[in-house]
Chain A
Amino acid sequence: MVKGSRGGRAPQELWLGLVILGMVVVLTALRPNFLGVQNILEMMNATAFNGILVSGLLVVLIAGGIDISFAAVASVAQYAALTVANATGAGWGEIVAIAGGIGLGLGLVNGVLVSTLGIASIIVTIATQSVIYGILLTVTRGQDIFTLPAWFGDPVDLFVTSDAKGNVYAVSLQIWALVLAFLAAWFLLNRTRFGRQVFALGGNPEAARRVGFGTARLNLLVYGYMGLVAGLASLVQAQYTQSVSPTALVGRELEVVAAAVLGGASLEGGHGSVLGAILGLALVVIMKNGLALLGVSSYWSDFFTGLVIVAAVAGMAARARRRWHDSPGLA
């Protein structure tokens, strides 16, 4: 099947960029502090967890799959890592290894199941999400970890500076982890053989198989990477909120999926870019932040997010809609 040929039309990234630019201009005109360093850093801090997950999910989407279980994986990873830290006095190195290891392991399980069961990846990962989350809640009885190690509360900042008024600006763990995550995704997708194979797998799995790619191995790597990213993101989130609750993360999966697809990643696989994913994420974050700055009640935040998603997907589809009339074969 021919994928959305956009001959002559602007790519998703340009279109999204223009919308974001428009929002930024309007918001800056209404609230000059919108473009302040403090506000921008705060937006990045707040979106770091979702953003890091988007960078992982992008790889899965391009490979033609989807993962719903990452929030459950992240919950297990952070709970286990900080429980161990509390019990043994382990430090950063150990908890990163534990959370990353658990994430990688559970991701590999997803990869094995997706490539062997012959069931759609959305169904497989809904099932693994249920199993992982169910077991986590049973073991923990749904209880939060109330005290975290003291060192975990210390900031992990780079480039700490302060201005004349004494306001401190710092690139926090959340922000450099977010930047690192997108750099890693960009490098993997655009500069490695693995990345080219991921695009090929998502574009046409049968062709990829016949060319001789180990598709099962590729799936393992893709879902393993997603799991690893989810495990590491869980620590970034725990450090930001300074709390670990087994129920706090699950239920946010679809927000992450929405941000990734707003950026133009196709659910059919084979399409997507890191720039698009960043812009999709930025669109949602800027809108939420803007509404808050404008004094709109936070009760309406979901409504406007939904409005943006519906408008964006309708807009994307409208640009591709001529297919219905031009080429009936692509119903």
Chain B
Amino acid sequence: MPAFLLRHVGRTNLRLLALLALLCLAAAPLIGDRLFAPAGLRSMAYQLPELGLLSLAMMVALLSGGLDLSIIATANLAALAAAAVLKSAPAGADGLVLLAVEAGALLAGLATAALVGLLNGTLIGYLRVSPILATLGTMTLVKGLAIGLTHGSVISEFPPAILFLGSGAVLGVPMPLLLLGLVATALGVLLTRTPFGVVLTLMGSNQQAVRFSGIDTRAALLRVYVLASLVAATAGFVMMARFNSANAAYGESYLLVTILACVLGGISPSGGFGRVGGLVLALVVLQLISTACVLLDFSQFLTLAVWGGILLSVGMIAAVRDQLRPLLAGLRAPVLRPAPPRA
């Protein structure tokens, strides 16, 4: 493989692109044009962002060497907080007042999510609780709070500006997709171009080394989990806008799927390695499979099985390759002679 491609696109991403091409080739004769007809693309563009934003939140925690099981509970609580503010708007409010309420609602949602993130970060960063345990607890706590406050009921009917986030389009680009693009780009820049991003990723490789470099890993972990919660909140807003309602239990089945998407996208489950681009490609692969299953009239549940199967197959291919590597290296050996010394 050309070194240029390897350096700029990455091995995992090239494999994902190959997988994507393979899927398209396999799908073409089965489904024909329908998969890429405007209607098919549009439905994909509206479905992908929910799982996408949640997966990005999971990615932030995974990259730092942790895990955040509370993202979906957080997303729902943030949506409920926003919904509560929206519902408190005076009847018949319009113009600037309505705008202020809408902005306040989103801010309230983000603030709620940030509080959950602070709790997670304190437990994981300062109290040294393992991330799985800490977020398992906060997941139950946050979901329980949402159920307790709403009695499991749905808050619905939001103003058009909020609904625009879920079903609107700017220049033909669906708003949820635009949001996903914005968040993904922002995270990509944050992770690769800022000191915090570098610290976050390095902590995933070797937290002790980062700490011994004089960086306060406790404070950094606090920020990691606040960031994950804020990204989760945007997912909550998109779900709330798309369903025109908020509830304590939306999207719960996505929890384990976000981990699956991240791992398929080349995010190392033990942390430290992975790119936003890989995750986005993995999401496209998963969405394509899902849409193809729908168009082929397969059960929607089969999608889940295929997603799990793809992850296992990727793992098996890697394992087989590792077994074969010494053999292949033996075959290649004559070619890989050291270059003659320069004069």
Contacts and interface: CB of A to CB of B under 8 A. Distances in A.
Interface of A: 68, 113, 116-120, 122-124, 126-135, 137-138, 141-142, 251, 254, 257-258, 261, 267-268, 297, 299-307, 309-310, 312-314, 316-318, 320-321, 323-324, 328-329, 331
A303 B145 CA distance: 5
B144 A302 contact: yes
Contacts of B307: 130, 134
A142 B127 CA distance: 42
A307 B141 contact: yes
A257 to B, nearest CB: 7
Given A134-B308, A317-B123, A126 B259 contact: yes
Give the one of A135, A138, A307, A310 with max B CB within 10 A. A310
Interface residues of B, number: 56
Contacts of A323: 128
B315 A124 contact: yes
A299 B152 contact: yes
Nearest to A131: B308
A305 B263 contact: no
Nearest to A323: B128
Given A131-B308, A131-B312, A331-B208, A126 B141 contact: no
A64 to B, nearest CB: 13
Given A129-B308, A134-B308, A261-B133, A321 B127 contact: yes
B324 interface: no
A127 B308 contact: yes
Nearest to A120: B269
Given A131-B309, A254-B69, A299 B322 contact: no
Interface string B301-335: 11111111101100110110010000000000000
Contacts of A117: 312, 315-316, 318-319
A116 B319 contact: yes
Q: Which 4 A-B pairs have the closest CB atoms?
A: A134-B305, A306-B141, A130-B308, A303-B144
Contact of B306 (A134, A305, A312): A134
Contacts, number: 171
8 contacts: A126-B260, A127-B315, A138-B298, A138-B302, A251-B252, A306-B138, A307-B141, A310-B119
Nearest to A310: B137
Contact of A306 (B143, B259, B263): B143
B136 interface: yes
B190 to A, nearest CB: 24
Contacts of B280: none
Contact of B147 (A142, A299, A312): A299
A258 B69 CA distance: 12
B88 interface: no
A118 B322 contact: yes
B132 A267 contact: yes
Given A135-B305, A137-B301, A138-B305, A258 B137 contact: yes
B69 A305 contact: no
Nearest to A122: B269
Given A68-B256, A134-B303, A314 B144 contact: no
B264 to A, nearest CB: 9
Contacts of A128: 308, 312
Residue in B138, B145, B217, B312 whose Cβ sees the most chain A Cβ within 10 Å: B312
A301 B259 CA distance: 27
B308 A321 contact: no
B142 A306 contact: yes
A317 B301 contact: no
Given A303-B140, A303-B145, A314-B123, 4 more contacts: A118-B322, A119-B263, A123-B263, A306-B141
A309 B136 contact: yes
A264 to B, nearest CB: 11
A306 B211 contact: no
B270 interface: yes
Interface string B11-29: 0000000000000000000
A302 B144 CA distance: 4
Contact of B133 (A113, A300, A313): A313
A306 B123 CA distance: 14
B257 interface: yes
A310 B147 contact: no
Contact of B129 (A118, A124, A142, A314): A314
Interface in B150-165: 151-152
B114 interface: no
Nearest to A312: B137
A331 B138 CA distance: 23
B139 interface: yes
B315 A302 contact: no
B256 A331 contact: no
A138 B123 CA distance: 40
